[in-house]
Amino acid sequence: MSDAGRKDFSTKAKEEMTPDSSKSTQQKMKEAFTDTGDKVARGAQPDSDKSTGQSLTDKMGRSKDREVHGSTGGSIIDKTKNALGMGDKH
C-alpha cells in the first residue's frame, strides 16, 4: 500500500523489471516524470508521517540513490536549502 499520490512497491518493481528496450518513448517519459514526483514527495514528508510500507520503500530508494549517485544523504529539501545558502550552518 502506498501513501496518496505515491507509487506503490509493485508499480516500481514492475517498472524496474521491464527492460527499457521494450518500453515506448512515452512509457519512459511517464516513468521519468512520475519517478521525479515520487522522489520529491519522498523527501518532503518525514518518514514518521508515512505508512510503514511507504517508509521502508523510501528508505530503500534513498539507499539505492546514494549507491548509484554517491550522495551523502539528506532530503531534496535540505539539498535545495543548502544550494541556496539557507541550510544549517554547522
How many structural domains is the chain composed of? 1
Dist CA 64 CA 58 (whole Å): 10
Q: Tell me whether residue 60 is in a domain.
A: yes
Q: What per-residue confidence (pLDDT) applies to 26?
A: 93
Q: Tell me whether residue 31 is in a domain.
A: no
What are the Cα distances from residue 73, in Å, to 22, 31, 36? 32, 23, 17
Reported as a single tens digit per residue, the pLDDT across 17-58 is 999 899 999 999 998 888 888 888 888 888 888 888 888 888
Single pTM value for the model: 0.57
Reported as a single tens digit per residue, the pLDDT across 68-77 is 766 665 666 7
> 3-class secondary structure for 7-63?
CCHHHHHHHHHCCHHHCCHHHHHHHHHHHHHHHHHHHHCCHHHCCHHHHHHHHHHHH
Q: CB-based contacts of 89: which residues, under 8 Å, 6+ apart? A: none
Q: Tell me whether residue 87 is in a domain.
A: yes
